[in-house]
Amino acid sequence: MTLRTEPVGSLPRPSHLQRALADFEAGRIDRAALTAAQDAACRDTIERMEATGSPIVSDGEQRASSFATYPLVDTLGGAGLADNLDPHGQDFAIFADGHHRRLPRLTRGPFRYRTYAGSLLARSAPMATMPMKQAVIAPSMLSLLYPLDEELPDYPRAQFHADLVDEAERDVRRCFVAGAAHVSIDFTEGRLALRDDPDNPWTGRGMLAAFIALNNDLLHRFEPEDRRRIGVHTCPGGDRDTTHSADVDYADLLPQLFELDAGYFLIQCAGEPDRRRVYELIGRHRREDAEGVPQVCHIGVTNPQDPRVETAEEVRDAVLEALEFIPAERFGTTDDCGFSPFSSDDKPRHGSVDAARDVAFAKIEARVRGTRLAAERLGLI
């Protein structure tokens, strides 16, 4: 036995890819040129992640508009918007530095994905020599496409939710068909749902329980053996070196988070002011039997918002402390968040996206090495 470790998903897009995205949106290059730039970024990402020694890798979401919008739009500038959507929709997150991120607005039914994550993975999988994982968006996030205070004519909210879960199931299954060893569901809106932000009206509506139920509707479509390979990621957001809900107490989130019948969780911890308290909460609330699967908990040991690279010894010590509360056979490590969840990104604390990309791979290597050091200290390898 050794200790598990895996990435969350996204990595900073290199500056040449961000330029290609801008050029594509402006009509200066065609889709073939954009695809070539994405392919090059994916190949570089996979090669560099494999070089860190990571036992499972990703393509860093280099082909995705963002972790949340890849099913809906090709680029954050609006190219390739899916049918029945208006680009001017709901702000789903307002970050601590004041910038917003927005979802489109559903105008009529039916709701269908334009792009499935499995199709993105299928292009990248031949580039890898190690097992790959794929992140997908939660139904709960995409539920915010539907207008908050109205029912659409001829497309009631209940029918939208049914269609949404159908599409989310297809998304996960297509990832497995494309070869994903693991699929993790991004659920950043879980912690955000506990805020009451007057500038962001959906956050004051007590939606967490409904989010949990909707996501369980998806999870319950999979047999326990499949759910062992399906994870859920929670964090206080990450974009432009800032967060959207770090002020929300984990004590309010984690008891409900573990009501999700997923096989494993990826939980932001490194950026928390009292990590030991979070480890204790995780150990107290995780379930040994979640409808037939034991819940494994991957704790965040690197902070993507901080350009300082953690040492392998710091990671080792965090692991050893967390293992005071979480059984080693139900334990793993990860990064606090995706390193760049949006394709159009700035890194003010890092200086540039290319510098941030180098830092991200250094942090991943520290996570892998530190996790191994902890396993050696415990005599697990």
**CATH number for 89:** 3.20.20.210
Identify which of 185, 240, 236, 242 has the alpha carbon closest to the alpha carbon of residue 215. 185
Looking from the CA of 89 toward its CB, the CA atoms found within 13 Å total: 27
Is the model's pLDDT at 148 over the cut of 70?
yes
Number of domains in the chain: 1
Per the structure, the complete domain to which residue 221 belongs is given by 4-377
For residues 44 and 210, give the distance between their C-alpha atoms in angstroms, rounded to a whole number: 40
Predicted pLDDT of residue 381? 85
For the stretch 170-174, contacts whose Cβ atoms lie closer than 8 Å and that sit 24 or more positions apart, written own/partner, are 170/113, 170/116, 171/71, 171/113, 171/116, 171/117, 171/118, 171/136, 171/137, 172/136, 172/218, 172/222, 172/230, 173/118, 174/116, 174/117, 174/118, 174/119
pLDDT tens, position by position, 189-219: 999 999 999 999 999 999 999 999 999 999 9
Instruction: Please report where in the chains the tokens 């967390």 appear, as a residue.
Output: 322
Across residues 263-274, what is the average pLDDT? Answer: 98
pLDDT tens, position by position, 346-361: 999 999 999 999 999 9
Across residues 126-154, what is the average pLDDT? Answer: 97
Is the model's pLDDT at 35 over the cut of 90?
yes
CA torsion sign, 14 to 136 to 49 to 283?
Answer: positive
CB atoms within 10 A of CB 146: 21
Across residues 85-105, what is the average pLDDT? Answer: 94
9 sits in which H/E element: none
For residues 29 and 9, give the distance between their C-alpha atoms in angstroms, rounded to a whole number: 27
Question: Residue 271 contacts by C-beta under 8 Å, 6 or more apart in sequence?
Answer: 236, 243, 246, 300, 303, 305, 306, 336
Instruction: Please report where in the chains the tokens 């139920």 appear, as a residue.
Output: 213
Name the percent of the chain lying above pLDDT 90: 98
Across residues 93-120, what is the average pLDDT? Answer: 97
